Amino acid sequence: MLMNYVMKQKFIHLEQLLFWRGVVNRRDLMLQFSLSESTAASTFREYSKAHPGVLVLNRTKRSYTPIPGFIPAHYKPDIAHCELTTIGSGLRIEVKNGVLAALSQSIRNSMTLEIEYVSIYGVESKREIAPMCLINMVEGFPPALHAWCFLRGQPRTFQTSLIRTAVVKRLAPPEVLASTLEIGTVTFKGIFFELPREAIYAAAGQLIAVPELRDVNALRVISELASQLETEWVKLP
């Protein structure tokens, strides 16, 4: 199908919302592209004509959801578009499409994930987790996924680039969904920082996850940094 640039951008935005949020409506297009309601409606008709059966209409909510197993035809999945609460910036990373798709479904439907994970030390494990937030403390480095780990019975921080596979499993328990991050302050080199405790481990893990930095001296420096920050931790009232 040949289409002009503007229509292509509309299709990309539509699929981005379907992929990450799981729902899209006319207002989403109207706000993004300053469209009239009739023009937004025609965009959905054009998309349905180009990709029959992909959009499922919810007449009550006047919105569309994707069919199960939806694969975008125009939008290239990018974790920077994830609407999960994010701490930090610089989400420039390539994560396996299968992991991205499972993560997006898990987030929008409050579901758990079963993942195959390889730790920064090469230890392989299979576990069920419930995503809580993304943490990116090191500009340009892979974001970490902070999640409830059912294997350990407590929150854990995972490097997204080290998740080999991810499969959506079940609705996350209410007590897990209600979990919050413990915010506190640390002092490092005379500077005060307010951040979650998990961010300390995420920062160290992000650095160690890069092969070029994974040598004895780098590990020692990173370990000392994490230990110093942890020691100086003061929980906010």
Q: Where are the domains of the chain?
A: 5-66, 79-177, 183-235
pTM of the complete model: 0.55
Instruction: Of 32, 69, 64, 61, give the one whose Cα is nearest residue 48.
Output: 64
pLDDT at 188: 64
Residues of the chain with pLDDT under 70: 1-3, 80, 82-95, 120-121, 137-142, 188-191, 204-219, 222
Contact (CB, 8 A) for 6 and 40: no
pLDDT at 87: 40
The Cβ of residue 77 has, within 10 Å, a number of other Cβ atoms equal to 21
pLDDT at 209: 62
pLDDT at 88: 39
pLDDT at 142: 62
pLDDT at 234: 78
3-state secondary structure of 24: strand
Fold type of domain 5-66: Arc Repressor Mutant, subunit A (1.10.10)
pLDDT at 14: 93
How far apart are alpha carbons 39 and 29 in whole angstroms? 9
> What DSSP designation does 89 have?
S
Return all residues near 47 (Cβ < 8 A) that are at least 6 apart.
Answer: 10, 11, 14, 54, 55
pLDDT at 86: 42
The Cβ of residue 34 has, within 10 Å, a number of other Cβ atoms equal to 8
pLDDT at 181: 75
pLDDT at 93: 43
How far apart are alpha carbons 209 and 161 in whole angstroms? 8
Instruction: Of 186, 82, 208, give the one whose Cα is nearest residue 133.
Output: 82
pLDDT at 228: 74
Question: Residue 36, Cα to own-chain centre: how many angstroms?
Answer: 32
3-state secondary structure of 94: coil
